[in-house]
Amino acid sequence: MENKILEKIKRNPFGIEVKKIISLNSDNAISGESFCIVSKREKKYKLRCCRNLKRAKEIENNIRNFTWAVPKFYGRRGRFLLFAWVEGKILSESMPSKIYFELGKMIGRIHASEKKVKFDVDSLFYLKFERLKDSKVFSKLELNKIRKLYSNLKSKINVKSVIELADFHEGNFIVNKNGKVFFVDEEGINKSIKGFGFSKPLLEFGWMKDLKRRKAFWKGYNKYYDNSFFAGDYEKFIGLIYAVRIIGGRYQRGADYLEEKKYLLKLLDECN
């Protein structure tokens, strides 16, 4: 934690009389540092200090598209963004299906908003593909098939680029005592391929494995948006990019990628 950041927080950019500052740092954070701020009146806040003003403004603009999906947003002061603190539990598959229904409604509403943006899908894929090549997980023949499959699938679909929850995993959602779901990783609201965010839990190797909760999620999603776009060639296209990204990244970290590798090889066989 940088002393300069601490000093700036103590100067009360939002007029809060600060009693305690607790670091919420994560090794995966890419836009800056986060803190739990406790005021002298014992009220808690979440404060993000972005690495630069440009990123702070980007996050602010993205958040304002979906204020109903995140904790109350008090505003931005320079590189600082302030949010209400949410007491609750991290989303888990042990939670009842109704929570997944609410989660589905959140994502469906976001997709229904159609916040379209320019997003270079080719750059995303080929950046991750180069990492995959370096990993030596696949043979040259298999790599050529992966590259050809990407081009073939892309030519068949209408790639949609939007602002959405691009980092969709359990740790980024908090459920309060009333069963309301909040997305709490504000840097995870970003430009993406439509559906890429929820591919993380919903592809066959994803973490949302319980069929009952999956059905509840889709039921909630369909309250706002039709999920039929996420099927056939579109789903295969998203799954291909996601698997390429995950395998290369996990290989570098020494983490397990067996399920994703099986999925990708199966996809190559199906599309041969």
For the packed helices 121-135 and 232-253, what is the interaxial angle rounded to 10 degrees? 50
What percentage of the chain reaches a pLDDT higher than 70?
92
Which of 44, 62, 85 terminates a domain? The answer is 85
- Residues 101 and 225 reside in one and the same domain: yes
CA distance 154 to 271: 13
pLDDT at residue 123 tops 60: yes
- CB distance 90 to 170 below 8 Å: yes
In this prediction, residue 29 carries a pLDDT of 46
Which of 69, 85, 101 terminates a domain? The answer is 85
- Residues 42 and 104 reside in one and the same domain: no
* CATH classification at residue 198: 3.90.1200.10
Give the pair of three-digit tokens for residue 61: 């603009």
Task: Quote the number of domains for the chain.
Answer: 2
Which of 30, 63, 85 terminates a domain? The answer is 85
- Residues 103 and 154 reside in one and the same domain: yes
What percentage of the chain reaches a pLDDT higher than 90?
60
- Residues 119 and 217 reside in one and the same domain: yes
Q: What is the mean pLDDT of the chain?
A: 89
- Buried (b) or exposed (e) across 45-76, using 16+ Cβ within 10 A? bbbbbbeeeebbebbeebbeebeebbbebeeb
- Residues 18 and 120 reside in one and the same domain: no
Helices and strands, number each (H, E), in the chain: 9, 10
- CB distance 145 to 157 below 8 Å: no
Own/partner long-range contacts of 69-72 (Cβ < 8 Å, ≥24 apart): 69/106, 69/109, 69/110, 69/165, 69/182, 69/183, 69/189, 70/182, 70/183, 70/184, 70/186, 70/189, 71/46, 71/182, 71/184
In this prediction, residue 104 carries a pLDDT of 95
CA distance 138 to 134: 10
Express each pLDDT in 92-104 by its tens digit: 989 999 999 999 9
- Residues 110 and 210 reside in one and the same domain: yes
In this prediction, residue 205 carries a pLDDT of 84
- Residues 144 and 18 reside in one and the same domain: no
- Residues 75 and 116 reside in one and the same domain: no
- Residues 70 and 139 reside in one and the same domain: no
pLDDT at residue 168 tops 50: yes
Containing structural domain, residue 73? 3-85
- Residues 68 and 119 reside in one and the same domain: no
Tell me the average pLDDT across 48-57: 91
Element (H, E) at 36: strand 32-39
- Residues 120 and 254 reside in one and the same domain: yes
* CATH classification at residue 61: 3.30.200
- Residues 100 and 21 reside in one and the same domain: no
CA distance 172 to 151: 32
- CB distance 49 to 79 below 8 Å: yes
Express each pLDDT in 6-45 by its tens digit: 666 766 678 888 888 888 876 554 446 889 999 888 999 9
In this prediction, residue 1 carries a pLDDT of 45
More confident residue, 7 or 107: 107
More confident residue, 88 or 8: 88
Give the pair of three-digit tokens for residue 130: 């180069």
